[in-house]
Amino acid sequence: MPTETVQDAAPQGQTYQAGVTPERVDKISAAAYRIRHHALNMGEVQGQGYVGQALGAADMLATVYGDQLRFRAEDPHWEARDRFLLSTGHYAIGHYAALAEAGIVPVQELETYGSDDSRLPMSGMSTYTPGMEISGGSLGHGLTIAVGMALGLRYQGSNARVFNFLSDGELDEGSTWEAAMGAHHHQLGNLTAMVDINALQADGKTDTVLRTEPVTEKWESFGWYTQRVDGNDVGALLAAFDNAAAQAAAVGRPSVILCDTKVGRGVPLLEEREKAHFMRIEEHEWQVCREQLTAGYEGKASA
Amino acid sequence: MSTTTTTATPAKPKLKTSAMIASFADPGQKTSSAPFGHALVKAAQENDRIVGLTADLGKYTDMHIFAQAFPERFFQMGMAEQLLFGAAAGLAETGLVPFASTYSVFAARRAYDFLCLDAAEPNLNVNIVGGLPGLTTGYGPSHQATEDMAIFRGMPNLTIVDPCDSVDIEQAVPQLAASEGPTYLRLLRGNVPTVLDEYGYTFELGKAKVLRGGNDVVFISSGLMTMRALQAAEALAAHNVDVAVVHTPTIKPFDAETVLAEINTGRLAVTLENHSVVGGLFETVASAVVTAGLGKRVVPVALPDQFLDAGALPTLHDRYGLATDRIVAKVLAELG
């Protein structure tokens, strides 16, 4: 049974469904804070980058890496691991931060982001980075590969789950819907898509570029177990991922978690800036961003 | 106002386009049924990592033979070629060896980005099986993959195989499965001629083979044009022209060493391919010749750089110069 839209951030002190304890929320909120901090540091090295996306998606990445994904940090190719497929290659900055948080990539290595000969190129590639399952970047590929992985794992008797991170812009691509149909047809119950709906694409707001709404109804009509949550509300994310995990099965409906997020989340300076796909940040602003991030996090944590 | 004459001339039977996949076997020729499907079943019996996929063209790519033998190892992806090859890459990521079939036009034109980035860049063992390569259907440009090799040759890591007959296909399939990295097989399906068994030939991935020697002319050919090359060589013998035939079923990586050794002689060198003159065997040979610094003329027998007509295959092969008679005439003209 799909749960309906939870559009707004949960008010302080809200209790979530059973199992979403304050301890889990605190743990993942702290991880999300560190991911944002890493992303700002990486962005500063390059003087630019997809920092806005990393900040927006940090809570999703923290939830999946910190709470859901089964992996061994010291053995990224462990056969029984769950797979996390980053379809949006340009979100690599956030993904690298999550990999560092997970202990798969050393934190010190993050400062090489986007530099020559780094294992952390601007667009994520499996051939460069441990823990990076696919080479994303050409949008609309991730879910098709995820379908094959889920089929292959099931055929080989594995109960590993496959998570595909995609963006709302990728819903423009026909291949995403080919894969959505295929996943339902083959009843890939261990497949979970997580869609970052930041309502922003390269040329502007999603609803001015190519209207994808109504997104919830689209996925439901494709036969997916569909939830839509505030993707910057850790408690809501944990609840949605718990729901998806509870109904995951070798044979069953694939699940999708539609996450409404805010570009630049956690840094008011960037949240309020005119939204841009590729955000420009002045040299002196990086420290301001970090301070705002920390102030916001500590303020919330102590509330 | 037109007048009609009543004196009917006995008309030649009108050739029809017939089925989507017309057989190019000559009447009475020895053939083998669905060699790809049977070879894949045999390979899968020995290698349990082999799986099969198709995009709603199982029956038309002989994949149905595999699907019947191994239903649990066969995945129907529907008429969705991007999904077909993205999923094939995903299956390979889990350690399986997928063979994914569709028509060559859809693999090369429609799904290129997925093959390139999801299979070739990570160098996965994804095996693309493309039906109707070159001019093997009379359905017109929507189905005639006249430039498939031109498209695919630019893809790093991809091995390209253009088999001549059932012998090539039967022997190639297990080698494609065993080789690392992605491959593209130009599929011949249905009743496929059996030709090379008479030449003491075995298929070796990456190798060109001299099928027959000859003092006056050397044919360098791939795919079904090797069959035509052998027929043309026989016919030219009647004109006292002695023709060697070198079969190069692997287009990439190309066995330049064997081919250049044969070309670097005083003989007339002719390439023969079931593909556009742009970007296929001829240009592969030409670049090898130039790179080696051989000042040698090479004559192409290939499809023209244009969208081809619809019609009956024999008509079209004659029209575009792939028919044996046309090859013979071209060689005789070259020899003056």
Contacts of A141 in chain B (CB under 8 A): 86, 113-114, 117-118
Q: Which two tokens stand for residue A119?
A: 């294992």
Sorted by sequence, the CB contacts under 8 Å of residue A26 that are 6+ apart come out as A301
pLDDT digits (tens, 9 = 90+) for A183-208: 999 999 999 999 999 988 888 888 88
Tokens in use for B206? 């990456």
CB-closest option in B72, B89, B122 to A148: B89
A157 close contact with B: CB closer than 8 A: no
**CA nearest B177: which of B294, B328, B39?**
B39
Q: How many CB atoms lie within 10 A of CB A164?
A: 32
- Which secondary-structure segment (H or E) carries B192? strand B191-193
Cβ neighbours for B61, distance < 8 A, ≥ 6 positions apart:
B36, B54, B101, B102, B103, B129, B131, B187, B189
Specify the pairing of strand B159-161 against strand B250-252.
antiparallel
Smallest Cα–Cα separation from A83: which of A128, A129, A143, A146?
A: A146
**What is the bridge-based pairing of β-strands B97-103 and B127-131?**
parallel
Residue among A145, A173, A251 with most chain B CBs within 10 A, to mutate: A145
Q: Considering B81, B147, B262, B283, which one is annotated as catalytic?
A: B81
- Identify the residue among A86, A87, A144, A154 best suited for mutation to test binding to B, counting B beta carbons within 10 A and taking the highest: A144
- Can you tell me the distance from the alpha carbon of B298 to that of A4, in angstroms, rounded to the nearest whole number? 69
User: Which has the closest alpha carbon to B189: B106, B88, B102?
Assistant: B102
pLDDT by position in tens, chain A (length 303): 444 444 444 445 567 788 999 999 999 999 999 999 999 999 998 887 789 999 999 999 999 999 999 999 999 999 999 999 999 999 999 999 999 999 999 999 999 999 999 999 999 999 999 999 999 999 999 999 999 999 999 999 999 999 999 999 999 999 999 999 999 999 999 999 999 999 888 888 888 889 999 999 999 999 999 999 999 999 999 999 999 999 999 999 999 999 999 999 999 999 988 767 777 888 999 999 999 999 999 988 776
Phi first, then psi, for residue B143 (nearest 5°) are -120, -10
A174 and chain B in contact, CB less than 8 A: yes
Chain A closest-CA separation from residue B254 CA (Å)? 26
A144 touches chain B (CB under 8 A): yes
- Is any Cβ of chain B less than 8 angstroms from the Cβ of A138? yes
Question: Which residues from chain B sit within 8 angstroms of residue A125, using beta carbons?
Answer: 121
CB-CB neighbors (< 8 A) of A175 in chain B: 80, 82-83, 86, 114
Does residue A47 belong to the interface with chain B, where contact is any CB pair within 8 Å? Answer: no
B113 with A138: Cβ contact below 8 A: yes
- Mean pLDDT per 10-residue segment, chain B (336 residues): 48 68 81 97 98 97 98 98 98 98 98 97 97 95 97 98 98 98 97 96 98 98 98 98 98 98 97 98 98 96 97 95 98 96
Identity at B295, one-letter amino acid code: G
Q: Is A147 on the interface with B (CB under 8 A)?
A: yes
| CA–CA separation, B237 and B332 (whole Å) | 11
Active site residue B198: no
Q: What is the ipTM of this complex?
A: 0.92
Using a CB–CB cutoff of 8 Å, tell me whether A108 touches chain B: no
Q: What is the spatial distance between Cα A169 and Cα A200, in angstroms, rounded to a whole number?
A: 7
Per CB-CB distance under 8 Å, the chain B contacts of A135 are 117-118, 121-122
